[in-house]
């Protein structure tokens, strides 16, 4: 049985504790919002997963730039790990948003700019992962995947500024530089939202780090398989060379 490093166990325990605290605050501690009622609790899931999905694609872009500059495979692994984890949070961002929208707006989807750019981000994640899955392995795949990752990062500020640029049903930013006194949150709601953002960020970091470690092991296994597959060919080549050398040598005792 392989022993799990202590730091990973501590990280896993911290992640579980933060998520448990977040769930307790969301469903028990924070008061029910007077206007929307219990459905407003979707805020504490929707905003953190949206934040994490956008941070993930920025991390993909950062790792992609680092790979293009250094050609180090560790950056390529980091980009893949961030994308594989980020696509889950991007999907949750869409799902939690639609669950919140139905009772408040009366529809699951409005097609406004902020929602559409969010859907585009999800498709960029999917395109990135599908490209890596089906394009032949090698340097060219890593370079082209890096370009796709950079394109995804461009969509992130558009998503954040979407509600301000094209005001529709979606509310304005509640956190960040564009939030104001009317749209920002404070008190128990603000505290719960901050804790939820931290918890989901730590969860993302833990899952992405585990995926990075697994990706590294997968690359090592692939390298080992390539080395093993080359051995028979090398052995056959050496055998043929030996046979040819023996055949070309003069018979013993012949003059």
What is the model's pLDDT at position 105?
79
Give per-10-residue mean pLDDT for the chain (255 aa): 72 93 94 85 92 93 91 90 95 92 83 82 92 84 87 80 58 54 69 94 94 86 78 54 54 45
Helix (H, G, I), strand (E, B) or coil at 33: strand
What is the model's pLDDT at position 56?
94
CA distances from 155 to 105, 116, 175, 242 (A): 25, 11, 18, 61
CB 52 within 8 A of CB 85: no
User: CA–CA separation, 231 vs 107, rounded Å?
Assistant: 61
User: Taking the CB of residue 181, how many other CB atoms lie within 10 A of it?
Assistant: 6
Cβ neighbours of residue 231 under 8 Å, at least 6 residues apart? none
Can you say whether residue 106 is alpha, beta or left, with left for phi > 0 and alpha for psi between -120 and 50 degrees? left
């Amino acid at each position: 049985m392989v022993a799990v490093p202590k730091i990973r166990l501590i990280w896993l325990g911290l992640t579980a504790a933060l998520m448990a605290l977040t769930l307790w605050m969301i469903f028990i501690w924070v008061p029910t919002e007077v206007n929307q009622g219990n459905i407003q609790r979707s805020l504490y899931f929707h905003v953190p997963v949206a934040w994490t999905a956008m941070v993930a694609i920025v991390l993909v872009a950062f790792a992609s730039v680092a790979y293009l500059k250094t050609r180090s495979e560790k950056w390529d692994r980091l980009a893949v790990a961030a994308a594989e984890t980020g696509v889950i949070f991007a999907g949750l961002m869409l799902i939690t948003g639609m669950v919140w929208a139905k009772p408040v707006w009366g529809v699951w989807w409005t097609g406004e700019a902020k929602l559409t750019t969010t859907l585009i981000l999800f498709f960029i994640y999917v395109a990135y992962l599908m490209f890596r899955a089906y394009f032949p392995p090698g340097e060219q795949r890593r370079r082209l995947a890096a370009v796709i990752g950079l394109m995804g990062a461009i969509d992130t500020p558009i998503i954040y500024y979407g509600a301000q640029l094209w005001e529709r049903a979606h509310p304005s930013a509640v956190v960040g530089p564009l939030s104001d006194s009317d749209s920002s949150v404070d008190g128990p709601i603000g505290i719960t939202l901050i804790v939820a953002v931290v918890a989901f960020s730590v969860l993302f970091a833990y899952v992405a780090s585990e995926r990075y470690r697994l990706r590294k092991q997968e690359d090592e296994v692939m390298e080992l398989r390539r080395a093993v597959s080359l051995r028979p060919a090398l052995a056959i080549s050496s055998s043929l060379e030996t046979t040819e050398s023996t055949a070309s040598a003069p018979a013993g005792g012949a003059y």
